[in-house]
Amino acid sequence: MLLDLVFPRRCVVCGSNGAVLCFDCEQGLERLGKPMCERCGAPTAWPVERCRECAGRRIAFARARAAIAYDASAKRLVGAWKERGQRKLAEVAAELVARAVERPSAYTLTFVPADENRLLERGHNPAERLAAALGARWQLPVVPLLSRAPGRAPQKGLTLAERRRNVRGAFAPSGSVPNTIVLVDDVYTSGATVSAAATALRKGGARRVEVVTFARAVR
């Protein structure tokens, strides 16, 4: 394409010409797989029902799964996707998720709604775009089922305890919620956001909420 000749595509991770995510950088992303915590999906030395990260916490979702570890390369990819207008990376992220995460046993996807200020800054909601791309691959409908209270501080830079307090009560159901629902977000950092969103979905009628994200922080 002429546009590619004038403005050649560069890999968002290494900067090389040719593709938005080059083959080497895609292969270099750390895939997450077994063994893992059955509940929160954290990598573990052997399979466990609850790990140190989620044991003793009240978590509203039944389980969480992610495709890749949120390391330096993943952060550059997510930064380009969320903050620098590379919206087509949602398709790349969805393809990686579809390869790594088993198709959930549910009939509907929903997504974490964006904060109004961040939505205005970015012009899009990465979680919604990822959900739409996954819905196309898994042949599942995507339905907006949550609203988000305004005025909350961004989660970035907060401690784990502050993250949990910051999103407590931040979401509310905005429609009739199915019995089993898959909640999609871009990154699982502490689990506070998706747990708060899952709490709202359960208040709306869901009995089981499964979380799917592109990346997750690994401690």
**Is residue 170 very low, low, confident or very high in pLDDT (cuts 50, 70, 90)?**
confident
Reduced to 3 states, what is the DSSP secondary structure of residue 63?
strand
Task: Reply yes or no on whether the pLDDT at 7 is more than 50.
Answer: no
Query: Is pLDDT above 50 for 168?
Result: yes
pTM of the model: 0.89
Q: Which DSSP symbol is given to 84?
A: S
Contact 64, 191 (CB under 8 A): yes
Q: Decide if 130 contacts 90 (C-beta within 8 A).
A: yes
Domains identified in the chain and CATH numbers: 32-216 (3.40.50)
Residues 39 and 59: their CA atoms lie apart, in Å, by: 9
CA angle 55/59/62 to nearest 5° reads: 100
- Residue 162 — very low, low, confident or very high, per pLDDT cuts 50/70/90? low
Residue 1 pLDDT > 50, yes or no? Answer: no
List 147's β-bridge partners, or say none: 172
142: β partners: 109
Backbone angles phi, psi at 136, to 5 degrees: -65, -40
Return the percentage of the chain with pLDDT > 90, whole number: 69
Q: What is the pLDDT of residues 21-64, one digit of tens each?
A: 999 999 999 999 999 999 999 999 999 999 998 988 889 999 99
Predicted confidence (pLDDT) per residue in 95-147, tens digit: 999 999 999 889 999 999 988 878 888 888 999 999 999 999 999 999 999 99
Q: What is the DSSP letter of 205?
A: T
For residues 1 and 22, give the distance between their C-alpha atoms in angstroms, rounded to a whole number: 18
